[in-house]
A = this chain, B = another copy of it.
Amino acid sequence: MKLAAVDIRQAASAADIVYDALRKAIVEGDLAEGENLRQDQIAQMFNTSRIPVREALSRLEQHGLITTERYKGAVVAGLSIEEIDEIFEFRALVEAEVIRLAVPNLDHDTLAAARGYCEEFGQETDSARWGEINRRFHYSLYAASQRPYYLQIVRTSLDRIDRYLRAQLTLTNGMMRAKREHEAILAACLNRDAGLASRLTRDHVLDAGRSLVAFLKDQRA
């Protein structure tokens, strides 16, 4: 007897589903900073009990995406200007290193994919999608570094500030500058110039951070 290979994917637990959904909603900015997250309410939304919800919230708290207080509940975490600044500084350090490690491993398909995202970013008219395409562009290159631990850290760092970044990209048209910088990074990768790609990535992240901090300072004043 011959059976077709079936992708029996282990059904994710309810806690995993809730975690993924809430993480996505927070990272993409669908849940506003300071918004209350009631266990009961979330449990009803997912047709489950509060137990898996609590587990999901506990994980989110570990990653700094929410804060919880006993008898009061969870709220989407807000970051101070200083915290945002620090995370950008950190990202610049790590992502510059990741791209430096990635460049020697970039193959044709990876570069083609990155070029695709780069162009898609420039042509996309729906500003809500810029953040997502931006992520894909960078990650498509970073993946070649073959450093899963670095990438996990980069992901959690980006998670913390992505919703601010998306708002800034949309509201200030910082997207035009990002587009030019992406093209420069991609060109350096195509030339196999790891040092240049690294420096450009560092500056790209720091620039984005500076723009965002300026934007937020203005907005919060």
Which chain B positions have C-beta within 8 A of A59?
58-59, 62
Number of interface residues, chain A, beta carbon within 8 A: 25
From 96 to 127 in chain A, residues with beta carbon under 8 angstroms from any chain B beta carbon are 97
Which chain B positions have C-beta within 8 A of A87?
149
A63 to B153, CA, bound (A): 11
A101 to B19, CA, bound (A): 35
A89 to B54, CA, bound (A): 35
Interface of A (DSSP majority class): helix
Does A77 count as interface, using CB distance less than 8 angstroms? no
Apart from the given pairs A13-B70, A87-B149, 6 other A-B contacts in the complex at a CB distance below 8 Å: A51-B51, A58-B58, A86-B149, A90-B149, A90-B150, A153-B153
Which chain B positions have C-beta within 8 A of A83?
148-149
A89 to B97, CA, bound (A): 11
Q: Which residues of A approach B to under 8 Å, CB–CB?
A: 10, 13, 15, 51, 54-55, 58-59, 62-63, 70, 83, 86-87, 89-90, 93-94, 97, 147-150, 153, 157
A111 to B87, CA, bound (A): 27
A153 to B153, CA, bound (A): 8
- The contact sample of 23 A-B pairs, CB cut-off 8 A, is A10-B70, A15-B58, A51-B51, A54-B55, A55-B55, A55-B58, A58-B58, A58-B59, A59-B59, A59-B62, A62-B62, A62-B63, A86-B147, A86-B148, A86-B149, A87-B149, A90-B149, A90-B150, A93-B93, A93-B94, A93-B97, A94-B94, A153-B153
Residue ID in chain B nearest A10 by CB atoms: B70
Within the complex, the shortest CB–CB distance from A13 to chain B, in Å, comes to 7
A70 to B9, CA, bound (A): 13
Within the complex, the shortest CB–CB distance from A151 to chain B, in Å, comes to 10
Which chain B positions have C-beta within 8 A of A157?
149
